[in-house]
Amino acid sequence: MESEQAIKKLLFLYAELIDSGDLEGAAALFRHAKLRVLGQEELINSEELLALWRRVVRLYPCGTPRTRHVVTNVILDMDDRVGRAQVRSYYTVYQATENFPLQLIAAGRYRDEFEHIDGDWRFCFRDYSLLDMVGDLSAHLVDMPDTRPG
List domains and CATH numbers for the chain: 2-134 (3.10.450.50)
- In the predicted model, what is the mean pLDDT of the chain? 94
30-72 pLDDT per residue, tens = 999 999 998 888 999 999 999 999 999 999 999 999 999 999 9
- Reference 91, options 4, 11, 10, 6; nearest CA is 11
pTM for the structure as a whole: 0.92
- Banded model confidence at residue 1, pLDDT cuts 50, 70, 90: low
pLDDT at 91: 98
Question: What is the spatial distance between Cα 76 and Cα 98, in angstroms, rounded to a whole number?
Answer: 38
- Reference 64, options 92, 38, 90, 98; nearest CA is 98
Residue 34 · residue 49 · CB < 8 Å? no
